[in-house]
């Protein structure tokens, strides 16, 4: 069960990481659209798991490996943005959110 503080920080991190992907880290996205669908933060606020959707899905593996390789730079940009609001900037882990693909697959199966 997430506390109110965890929920607030998760929303803040989701918004700021999305802004980073749109502005500072455009080179990492390789011309794709990267959205942060959810951020979950640990109870000690030391680890944030960000779930990202990558569209179009053709370059998903390339973009994900670029993001993974530059996680420390993304965390540095995040620290510059939320440094006044958080005492410690959490470590970041990125996961590919494939729920949109799952929904698309179900729709396609139901239409047949």
Q: What distance separates the 2 farthest-apart alpha carbons in the chain?
A: 53
Q: CA distances (Å), 80 to each of 16, 72, 73, 83, 88, in order?
A: 10, 13, 11, 6, 12
Where along the chain do its domains lie? 4-111
* The pLDDT value given to residue 18: 95
Q: What sign has the CA pseudo-torsion 45, 90, 60, 29? A: positive
- Looking at the DSSP bridge assignments, the partners of residue 94 are 50
Tokens describing residue 54: 């990558």
Digits of tens for pLDDT over the chain (112 positions)?
Answer: 889 999 999 999 999 999 999 998 888 888 899 999 999 999 999 999 999 999 888 888 999 999 999 999 999 999 999 999 999 999 999 999 987 778 878 888 998 7
Strand 33-41 and strand 47-55: the pairing is antiparallel
Question: Given strand 33-41, what is the order of strands in its sheet?
Answer: 33-41, 47-55, 91-96
Q: Rounded to two decimals, what is the model's pTM?
A: 0.87
Q: Decide which of 3.10.20.30, 3.30.43.10, 3.40.50.720, 3.30.300.20 is the CATH code for 4-111.
A: 3.30.300.20
């Amino acid at each position: 069960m997430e506390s109110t503080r965890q929920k607030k920080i998760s929303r803040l991190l989701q918004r700021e990481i999305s802004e980073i992907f749109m502005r500072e880290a455009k080179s990492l996205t390789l011309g794709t659209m990267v959205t942060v669908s959810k951020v979950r933060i640990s109870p000690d606020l030391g680890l944030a798991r960000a779930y990202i959707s990558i569209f179009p899905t053709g370059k998903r593996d390339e973009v994900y490996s670029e993001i993974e390789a530059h996680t420390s730079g993304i965390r540095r940009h995040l620290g510059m943005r939320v440094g006044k609001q958080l005492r410690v900037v959490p470590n970041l882990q990125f996961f590919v959110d494939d729920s949109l693909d799952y929904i698309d697959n179900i729709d396609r199966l139901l239409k047949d």
